[in-house]
């Protein structure tokens, strides 16, 4: 499942360069002392409340909040449910903005798990990407632990893993329900065959909480 895990848009790498932390707006001032910013993801299947770890993953969190604060996730969807072979209750659900480049900000620098110290656990939020430095709006939620998504410097090839940046603190029953939905939709690439939710789960809104 790791090969071609989240690859959906090759155009992201050409969307205007990679943003570093200094280029992102100051979105997280006056936040809670622990820097965990809560975001409510409201879907037509229920709500998921996530806490973002700004201190450990500042670039990724600032980028995600940029989309949240501009309401660019409103009306988007969870479109993919990737279930682990032989363990259909585990896997990931992926969501983000549909293929409308006008809603996308430039991609961001990759924050590896070896840098942040965050791991892909049950309920972890992480960014979808092709090559490192191509993440933009699309993200996923782990349903069950997924250590194979962490960086592994001893592995061959692209071994930088995915950029974990938050954790579901309530609503995992909604994530599990989305993972179990029919996945008979048309795949955007061969790696996603049998993983496209049909119909997609609509994201009604995303808003900061408290």
Mean pLDDT confidence for 102-131: 96
Query: Cα–Cα distance between 82 and 149 in angstroms, integer?
Result: 13
Q: What is the mean pLDDT of the chain?
A: 87
**Which of 64, 163, 51, 168 has its CA nearest to residue 117?**
163
Q: Which CATH superfamily is domain 10-209 in?
A: Cyclophilin-like (2.40.100.10)
**Which of 57, 53, 60, 56 has its CA nearest to residue 18?**
60
The pLDDT assigned to 191 comes to 86
The pLDDT assigned to 34 comes to 57
DSSP H or E segment with residue 156? none
The pLDDT assigned to 201 comes to 98
Burial 147-182 (b: 16+ CB within 10 A, else e): eebbbeeeeeeeebbbbbbbbbeebeebbbebbebe
pLDDT in tens, 25-72: 444 433 444 568 999 999 999 999 999 999 999 999 999 999 999 999
**Which of 199, 94, 82, 196 has its CA nearest to residue 137?**
94
Query: Cα–Cα distance between 78 and 143 in angstroms, integer?
Result: 14
Give the Cβ contact number of residue 4 at 10 Å: 12
Give the Cβ contact number of residue 52 at 10 Å: 25
Burial of 198 (0-12, 13-18, 19+ CB in 10 A): exposed
**Which of 209, 6, 18, 7 has its CA nearest to residue 120?**
6
Query: Cα–Cα distance between 74 and 204 in angstroms, integer?
Result: 5
- Domain chopping of the chain, boundaries: 10-209
The pLDDT > 70 percentage for the chain reads 82
């Amino acid at each position: 499942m790791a090969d071609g895990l989240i690859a959906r848009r090759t155009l992201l790498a050409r969307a205007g360069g990679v943003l570093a932390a200094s280029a992102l707006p100051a979105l997280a001032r006056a936040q809670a002392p622990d820097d965990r910013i809560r975001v409510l993801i409201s879907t037509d299947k229920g709500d998921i409340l996530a806490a973002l770890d700004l201190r450990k993953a500042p670039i990724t969190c600032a980028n995600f909040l940029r989309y949240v604060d501009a309401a660019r996730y409103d009306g988007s969807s969870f479109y993919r449910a990737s279930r682990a072979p032989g363990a259909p209750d585990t896997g990931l659900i992926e969501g983000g903005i549909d293929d409308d480049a006008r809603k996308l900000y430039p991609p961001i620098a990759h924050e590896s798990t070896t840098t942040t110290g965050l791991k892909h656990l049950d309920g972890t939020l992480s960014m979808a990407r092709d090559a490192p430095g191509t993440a933009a709006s699309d993200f996923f939620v782990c349903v069950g632990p997924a250590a194979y998504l962490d960086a592994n410097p001893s592995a061959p090839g692209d071994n930088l893993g995915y950029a974990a940046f938050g954790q579901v603190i309530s609503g995992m029953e909604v994530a599990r329900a989305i993972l179990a939905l029919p996945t008979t939709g048309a795949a955007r690439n061969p790696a996603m065959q049998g993983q496209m939710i049909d119909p997609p789960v609509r994201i009604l809104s995303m808003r900061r909480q408290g």
